[in-house]
Amino acid sequence: MEIIIGSIPPLKPQSPKPPQGNSTVIAAQLLHVRPPRKGIAGPSGMERRNKQAKDPRTGRVLTIMVADGSQLPPDMDSAHYDVSIRLIRR
């Protein structure tokens, strides 16, 4: 009999850990890609939109559809979320 004090059993191989934070992979489908908005001047030459934000010149606007909307957070409209995309060709 062998008695070893202070040792632990060997660890099982672990699967790769997901990135830190509350990240969740949600499948979505790309519906449309368009260039960024340009300024919209009204009759007086002033901007008609309420927000005074300009889209980046080299940006693209993506329209995506999430098939299962229950996977989205319920406070998505009111909270700030960082969104990252990974494009996979079918």
Kindly report, residue by residue over 68-90, the tens digit of the pLDDT: 888 888 888 887 888 888 888 88
Amino acid code (one letter) for 38? K
- Domain residue extents for the chain: 28-71
Assessment of whether the complete model's pTM goes beyond 0.95: no
pLDDT tens, residue by residue, 29-42: 999 999 887 766 66
| Spatial contact of 24 and 51, defined as CB atoms under 8 Å apart | no
| Spatial contact of 39 and 15, defined as CB atoms under 8 Å apart | no
What percent of the chain shows pLDDT beyond 90?
Answer: 9
| Spatial contact of 56 and 64, defined as CB atoms under 8 Å apart | no
